[in-house]
Amino acid sequence: MTLLNNIGALNQAFDQEMELNPRIVIYGEDAGFEGGVFRATKGLQEKYGKKRCFDTPLAEAGIVGSAIGMAIYGLKPVVEIQFSGFVLPAFNEIVAHAARYRNRSHGKYPLSMVIRMPYGGGIRALEHHSESIEALFAHIPGLKVVIPSTPYDTKGLMIAAIRDPDPVIFMEPKRIYRAFKQEVPNEPYTVEIGKAKILQTGTDLTLVAWGAMVREAQKAIDLLNDSNISVELIDLRTISPIDRKAIVTSTKKTGRFLVVHEAVSSFGPGAELISLVTEDAFLSLEAPPSRLTGYDIPVPLPKGEHHFMITPQKIASEIKRLIAY
């Protein structure tokens, strides 16, 4: 076991998979010589050479388009979009080509590639650096959308994404890149894509979160320690496909449901999850299912960002409201 933060877990996953599989290539803007803007790919070019880990021009459509071509011809590209807000020039390549290739070839040709991107707010960044756009990708059939919240899951989910036969959008909450460390197994392992994790069992309310919001949810539960409210906390881990069974089973047990996410509220993942529990756990509900989300505005610039972010106090207050309903 090694004590790693999320950046260290990513780097170890890349290193071990590149050593095992010579078809893996990793690239993006500054991903080679500099090791990425957050240093997730640090040292890989030096160890594996410029043909397997390299820098690209500032051209996201070119990064993703070339990766699609490499995947068709049998390589395993893992590409980095420097910030999630920069992915939009590549959106056509992702939704019109990467996501559809298996269907377009009647299942004959899968397209194994990973598109990585730091996402989310909380670090007082500039415009186009702080969005949470997981819903854009989760809406597209043919894409898997993964968001880890711990170093253990980061390594296991990244290795699972690299080994997956289909395109995976891997969104990394940059707010917690270096926020904490965790013991991570030295050997390669996978965490199943599409499988949520119950972090804490409870009987009064089901609380679902992912990415950086998992830690805020845990802090909110700590604030309620003296209230005798029993919260079941679920880390969704994968936005698409959703672990429907875990969500429904938990909600039927607790009777109350709250989802917390950074993304804007309207048409967000929270709406999908609330629809799910309304359809499949309606007769068990003791309060209307609720969502606590970002506002329907662009993420504010640094001086105003704190007004946008979900805090443990906001989560705890919403939990109390649902319990008292």
**Which are the catalytic amino acids?**
129
Count each helix (H run) and each strand (E run) in the chain, helices first.
12, 14
What is the C-alpha separation between 208 and 285, in angstroms, rounded? 16
Element (H or E) spanning 72, and its range? Answer: helix 60-72
Give the type of residue at 74.
Answer: G
Give the type of residue at 29.
Answer: E
For 110, other C-beta atoms within 10 Å of its C-beta total: 15
Q: What DSSP letter does each residue of 157-201 carry, written as one string?
A: HHHHHHH-SS-EEEEEEGGGSSS--EEE-SS-----TT--EEEE-
